[in-house]
């Protein structure tokens, strides 16, 4: 392999809060959120099914939700350090998210990082209930549902794949990666399966490790 590709999750990884969870709880229906979240934990629902159902009760206008996001969501310390290191070294840096471009891009713009490569879902903020438009519906041969694995592999294209994530949507791609930084649920999942990873709380430690 030559070169390096860094693929990073957004919600709960780049951001200190899981933005999808926060929006579903703040603007949606808490009972629906709890029900579908349990269904995901018990493997009765796919992530796509969960996202569709979580955001159907959300009826707030998009500008209102975007304002809330910009007032409340904070980027994890050291994120800019990793971005600048990647640019200096000539590594490809891509955000691959199950979240919505309409909520992610304003945060990146606020941080002065609006030019970062971003692959994500999107949302139609229909007043009768938000409708999710998924980046891909292709089913992964490994996990049996649409995921980030094939996208991460295509982005790496023979380079060393570094994956940084925190949750359910990151599992399959993380198992494919050459070097993984994980926290929260992703760290627990990889630990249970004996998959090596490096824990992190913020991106300063990630930057130090990648620079070494």
2 — pLDDT class (breaks 50, 70, 90): low
How many domains are contained in the chain?
1
Position 203 scores a pLDDT of: 98
Least confident of 2-6, 167-171, 185-189, 200-204: 2-6
> What's 171's domain CATH number?
3.40.50.1000
Which percentage of the chain shows pLDDT scores above 70? Answer: 99
Question: Which residue is it, tokens 């840096």?
Answer: 93
Averaged pLDDT, 10-38: 96
Q: At what angle are helices 203-211 and 79-89 packed, to 10 degrees?
A: 20
Which percentage of the chain shows pLDDT scores above 90? Answer: 98
Query: Does residue 208 carry a pLDDT above 90?
Result: yes
Query: Does residue 171 carry a pLDDT above 90?
Result: yes
Higher pLDDT, 1 or 161: 161
Confirm whether 189 is domain-assigned.
yes
pLDDT tens per residue, range 42-76: 989 999 999 999 999 999 999 999 999 999 999 99
Confirm whether 137 is domain-assigned.
yes
Handedness of CA 12, 131, 134, 101 (dihedral sign): negative
Domain span at residue 175 reads 4-16+74-211
10 Å CB burial of residue 36 (0-12, 13-18, 19+) is buried
Q: CA–CA distance from 13 to each of 34, 76, 130, 163, 205 (Å)?
A: 22, 7, 24, 11, 13
**CB within 8 A of 33, min separation 6: which ones?**
21, 24, 25, 54
Confirm whether 31 is domain-assigned.
no
Contact 22, 72 (CB under 8 A): yes
Confirm whether 191 is domain-assigned.
yes
Confirm whether 184 is domain-assigned.
yes
């Amino acid at each position: 392999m030559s070169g390096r590709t860094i693929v990073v999750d957004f919600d709960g990884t780049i951001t200190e809060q899981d933005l999808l969870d926060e929006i579903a709880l703040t603007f949606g229906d808490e009972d629906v959120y709890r029900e579908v979240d349990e269904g995901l934990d018990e493997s009765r629902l796919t992530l796509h099914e969960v996202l569709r159902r979580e955001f159907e009760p959300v009826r707030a206008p998009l500008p209102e939700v975007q304002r809330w996001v910009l007032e409340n969501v904070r980027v994890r310390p050291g994120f800019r350090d990793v971005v600048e290191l990647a640019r200096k070294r000539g590594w490809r840096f891509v955000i691959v998210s199950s979240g919505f471009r309409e909520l992610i891009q304003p945060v990146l713009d606020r941080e002065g990082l609006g030019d970062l490569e971003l692959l994500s879902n999107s949302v139609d903020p229909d007043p009768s209930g938000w409708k999710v438009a998924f980046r891909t519906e292709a089913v992964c041969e490994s996990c049996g549902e649409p995921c980030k694995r094939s996208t991460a592999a295509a982005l790496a294209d023979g380079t060393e794949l570094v994956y940084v994530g925190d949750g359910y949507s990151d599992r399959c791609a993380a198992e494919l990666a050459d070097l993984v930084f994980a926290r929260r649920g992703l760290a627990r999942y990889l630990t249970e399966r004996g998959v090596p990873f490096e824990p992190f709380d913020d991106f300063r430690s990630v930057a130090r490790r990648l620079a070494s």
